[in-house]
Amino acid sequence: MKPVIGIISTRVDEKDRPFMTKTSFNELYPKRIIQAGGIPIGVIFPNNEFNTEVLDICDGFVMQGGSTIYSSNINTVHYALERKKPILGICMGMQTMVGYEWVMGEFENIFPTYNEIGSFFHPEDEVNFIEKVKGHDNLDPFYLSKVDESKHAILLDNNSLLTDIFKDSYIEMPSVHGWKALDKLLEHADGNIFKVTGRSTDGVIEVIESNIPDWWAIGVQFHPELEEKNLPLFRKLVNEAKIKKLRK
């Protein structure tokens, strides 16, 4: 009865160079999912062609970090909300969730189809919801042996899901990103799909959570998978996916 957690792949699209066009997964994500009691599987959308069939066999999702957001990523968040399946977005995964907020705003509260989102969203649309930030990528290249040097403080809302998971509203997490989500999309929490529940001490959005009843969704800008002590977050995802599985 272990729940299946789909890890959404990242893509490098070289178009006319098929041997350079690749999908990839960071090995730490399946490792944490296994440790948390779930079964990880890789989710791939060749050619960025969105397909719900592979998502149907999953009970929850991890949207990992990466460099480019595609319409298939946006559609995965759309699918998770539509089916109320739990999702954890990490780094670019969180930015994708903010991107979904932007997309839905552009559709003016009309619930679009997957094809409509696929036709509407393009990677260059990222400028509408993320921007460059300084001081959040202190190690380049990143070495796990220096993980403590990459950390910064994050302040959580007292009633946030993460505060409940980590039993503290002050956490220190590895920061490995050069981009941040735009504030203007999430400045009015009421009625939004997501709400801001955590920021770094310099004000950068670090945590967003679902504002939709009965939908467990968390996006974090930091990288909890880098340290085993953050397993409670992955255990919570797996447990929420198990609950979803049992209700099928």
- Please write the tens of the pLDDT for every residue from 68-114: 999 999 999 999 999 999 999 999 999 999 999 999 999 987 899 99
The answer to whether 49 and 71 have CB atoms below 8 angstroms apart is: no
Q: How far is CA 48 from CA 20, 141, 223, in A?
A: 15, 28, 25
Enumerate the domain spans of the chain: 4-133+177-246
Beta strands, E only, the chain = 4-8, 10-12, 22-24, 39-43, 60-63, 87-90, 130-132, 151-156, 170-174, 179-181, 194-200, 205-210, 217-220
Provide the whole-model pTM.
0.95
Other beta carbons within 10 angstroms of residue 60's beta carbon come to 26
Per-residue pLDDT of the chain (248 residues; tens, 9 = 90+): 899 999 999 988 888 898 888 899 999 999 999 999 999 999 999 999 999 999 999 999 999 988 999 999 999 999 999 999 999 999 999 999 999 999 999 998 789 999 999 999 999 999 999 999 988 987 878 888 989 999 999 999 999 999 999 999 999 999 899 999 998 888 766 668 999 999 999 999 999 999 999 999 999 999 999 999 999 999 999 999 999 888 87
Question: Which candidate, 117, 79, 74, places its Cα nearest to that of 96?
Answer: 74
As a whole number of angstroms, the distance between CA 57 and CA 49 comes to 18
243 CB-contact burial (10 Å; exposed 0-12 / middle 13-18 / buried 19+): middle
User: What are residue 228's DSSP bridge partners?
Assistant: none
Give, in degrees to the nearest 5, the angle at Cα 48 between 195 and 59.
55
The answer to whether 175 and 222 have CB atoms below 8 angstroms apart is: yes
Q: How far is CA 69 from CA 58, 61, 76, 123, in A?
A: 21, 16, 11, 6
Tell me if the domain spanning 4-133+177-246 has CATH number 3.40.50.300: no
Give, in degrees to the nearest 5, the angle at Cα 80 between 13 and 179.
50
Torsional sign, CA 203, 84, 5, 100? negative
